[in-house]
């Protein structure tokens, strides 16, 4: 593991809003996150990938999908390893003029619904055609033939569509088209206001809807309660501070809306099965 801990990797995409890099041999990254979507496709060899408190082994032919804002890191000790790392901004899958209603397909990126579906086994990746599409994407950006931007954009849309269909096939809940505009607004408010005291009654009042209607919408579409989801957002933000700063538990609790460090530690232990301090030390040691 590298000694330096990065608070946030820059996207560095420039005008194209996407990138592709082939990595060969051993490598490692410190815990970090992106504001973009990242894919790691293992072409040869093995490596391990850290996500949500555990190390996931990755073998040739497998794919990892990393949603925006998720803490992760990699550790590859295989000198024969070869992988494709692709990143692209969320806007790549959203028409700028709003002519196509696609936000319902973006919602999983921000809801943690994807956490149990980010790893694609070799048979799943083969069924999706990951290797073919990603190699074509790599060649497209390398050769830059006429209108390569259109082709690259189309390849990413094709791949994301196939990934989304696979998530639904594997059991991820679909989001209702007629409900997603209001749900999107609720999720954005939580993401913006998680660091302050926040209740579903307050959000319902701001949106001029009843609490019971908001609670019903949230449970039906998110398959979890409002407070449980708010807690997951706060824990993810706390995880970033744990791994990228040396702030105390009290400081982190205050910055993530918990206020009380004891309550923060109890909530953290329920999800990560260890205290925040133990978690910080384990990840930094690469355990």
Q: Sheet holding 46-51: strands in order across?
A: 27-28, 72-76, 46-51, 54-59
Burial of 9 (0-12, 13-18, 19+ CB in 10 A): middle
pLDDT bucket at 3, cuts 50 / 70 / 90: very low
pLDDT(2) > 50:
no
pLDDT for 179 equals: 58
Helix, strand and coil percent figures for the chain, each rounded to 5: 50, 15, 35
Q: Is the pLDDT of residue 226 over 80?
A: yes
pLDDT tier for residue 51 given thresholds of 50, 70 and 90: confident
- Summarize pLDDT for 174-224 with one digit per residue, the tens: 766 555 678 878 888 898 899 998 889 988 888 888 988 888 888 877 778
Return the H-helix or E-strand segment holding 223. Answer: none
Buried-state track 60-77, b at ≥16 Cβ within 10 A, e below 16:
bbbbbbbbebbbbbbebe
Q: What pTM was computed for the model? A: 0.82
| Range in 1-15, 99-113, 226-240 the model is least confident about | 1-15
Which structural domains are found in the chain, ordered by start?
A: 14-169 (2.60.120.280), 180-284 (1.10.10.60)
CA 201 to chain centre: 28
Give the chain's mean pLDDT. 86
Give pLDDT, residue 267.
94
pLDDT (0 to 100) of residue 10: 41
């Amino acid at each position: 593991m590298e000694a330096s801990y990065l608070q946030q990797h820059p996207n560095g995409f420039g005008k194209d809003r996407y990138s592709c890099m082939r990595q060969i041999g051993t490598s490692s990254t410190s815990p970090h996150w992106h504001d973009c979507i990242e894919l790691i496709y293992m072409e040869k060899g093995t490596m391990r990938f850290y996500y949500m408190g555990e190390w996931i082994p990755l073998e040739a032919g497998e794919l990892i999908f990393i949603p925006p804002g998720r803490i992760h890191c990699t550790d590859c000790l295989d000198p024969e390893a070869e992988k494709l790392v692709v990143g692209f901004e969320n806007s790549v899958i959203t028409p700028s003029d709003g002519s196509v209603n696609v936000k319902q397909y973006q919602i999983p990126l921000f809801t943690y619904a994807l956490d149990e579906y980010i790893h694609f086994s070799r048979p799943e990746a083969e069924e999706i055609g990951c290797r073919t599409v990603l190699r074509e994407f790599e060649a497209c950006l390398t050769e830059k033939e006429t209108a390569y931007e259109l082709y690259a954009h189309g390849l990413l849309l094709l791949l994301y569509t196939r990934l989304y269909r696979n998530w639904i096939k594997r059991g991820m809940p679909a989001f209702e088209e007629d409900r997603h505009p209001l749900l999107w607004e609720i999720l954005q408010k939580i993401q913006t206001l998680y660091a302050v005291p926040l209740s579903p009654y307050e959000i319902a009042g701001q949106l001029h809807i009843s609490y019971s209607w908001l609670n019903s919408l949230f449970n039906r579409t998110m398959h979890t309660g409002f407070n449980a989801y708010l807690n997951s957002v706060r824990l993810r933000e706390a995880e970033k501070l744990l791994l990228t700063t040396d702030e105390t538990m009290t400081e982190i609790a205050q910055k993530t809306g918990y206020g009380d460090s004891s309550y923060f530690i109890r909530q953290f232990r329920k999800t990560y099965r260890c205290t925040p301090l133990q978690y910080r030390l384990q990840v930094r040691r690469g355990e």
